[in-house]
Structure 1
Amino acid sequence: MTEPNPSAAPSDAADHRLGILARRRIEAEIIKPIYEIMKREFGIERAQAVIAEAIRGAAVDAGQSFAAQEPGGTSIASFVALQVLWEKDDALDVEVRREDAGHYDYDVHRCAYAEMYHAMGLGEIGHLLSCARDEYFIRGYDPRVALTRTSTIMQGGKRCDFRYRMRDGNPAAVDQERKHDE
């Protein structure tokens, strides 16, 4: 997952003006031929496992990079402030259901990411390239925050139901709770 890096060198500044949707298109154009070769050489299961592993690691790294730029530390509020990056370019039709210090709940009713991946012929891995990032990004950004989602448009749902909540407890308790959730 390559997110805008707030601490990037000035030479990278033009690239960071792109919305996340535009960045995902560029990434997908690069990933598509690599994925096709991996499917041919290793089979679909192994190819998808490799893509999933790479995306998960990149998502955690991106979350940590964003977190490092938060002068007052991370919180639900600081995370909510980042959402404009994912919504840029009319990428998502979002209905916020709850927003407070302990929760950020919203539904996505239209997802240009899903539309784009399907149009590019990458619908079978769109959930790996986009949806799967969300859980790992928040782990990197703030391990006290948990994401629950039961449905995604990418995988045929009528909506994506994002439910972020601040977990109680110390980091060890959060790690234990996360292992239980998996």
Structure 2
Amino acid sequence: MEIKGISAERAEETYHWIASVQAEVAARGQVVLDDVERRNRETVTAEWKARAQERGDASIDALVDVLWNQMCLPDGLEFERADDPATGTVQMHCTYCPWHAVAAAAGAAGPGGVGYALFCATDPHMVAGFNEAAGPGARRIAFSRTTTLMQGGTHCDHRYAYADDGAADAGAAVGR
């Protein structure tokens, strides 16, 4: 399987993982997606709390650096960053994601597809982990997104802002 940005082996492994989750959803229904969400909430939050603690920095810039520069860029995601220095808000505009490409190949992309639960639904939990690492009294990061490639959009529009600037609740789940 050829997917831009990732090795054929990684694409195949991901494709089969997605297909197995799809088969489980077909057999057991919503309970599988509920289990995925519970796992995301527990493990992703803990993993990202540890990442922030290791860095000693739970700021928006640190989150964006770890997620987008250190993880997404090497995986071949194509994106642009726009900063608003007055508020500290960062907007990421992603136009290509190999995980969307694999999910689409597996028939798991689009509204209601398993791809969103496996990949995109982790995003608010990453922010929640950074917020837990920030400690009492620290500014909280808010995350919002109105569209995703995985759900049929032309792009993903991740927005990170400090919670006191009127953005979405810190770490809140966004669109499904």
TM-score where L is the length of structure 2: 0.71
Distance 2:156 2:106 in 1: 21
Q: What is the CA RMSD across the aligned residues, in angstroms?
A: 3.1
Alignment-derived partner of residue 47 in structure 2: 62
Contiguous gaps of at least 5 residues in structure 2? 1-5, 133-139
Distance 2:172 2:41 in 1: 19
Q: Aligned residue pairs: how many? A: 153
Give CA-to-partner distance per residue, 1:61-80, whole Å, 9 cap, x none.
12112112013x31112122
Letter in 1 for 2:77: L
Q: Identify which of 84, 92, 107 aligns with 1:106.
A: 92
Letter in 2 for 1:76: I
Alignment map for 1:26-65 (pairs within 5 Å): 26=13, 29-30=16-17, 32-40=19-27, 42-43=28-29, 45-65=30-50
Contiguous gaps of at least 5 residues in structure 1? 1-20, 170-176
Alignment-derived partner of residue 166 in structure 1: 162
**Other structure's SS at 2:83 match:** strand
Are 2:75 and 1:75 equivalent residues in the alignment?
Answer: no
Distance 2:83 2:26 in 1: 41
Distance 1:107 1:27 in 2: 24
CA contact under 8 A between 1:98 and 1:105: conserved in structure 2?
yes
Q: Identify which of 96, 119, 125 aligns with 1:130.
A: 119
Q: For residue 47 of structure 1, report the CA deviation from its aligned partner.
A: 2.0
Alignment-derived partner of residue 145 in structure 2: 149
Structure 1 residues 139, 180: closer, same or farther in 2, change over 3 A?
Answer: closer
Distance 1:116 1:181 in 2: 23
TM-score where L is the length of structure 1: 0.69
CA contact under 8 A between 1:107 and 1:159: conserved in structure 2?
yes
Larger helix proportion of the pair: 1
Q: Percent identity?
A: 23
Structure 1 residues 117, 140: closer, same or farther in 2, change over 3 A?
Answer: same
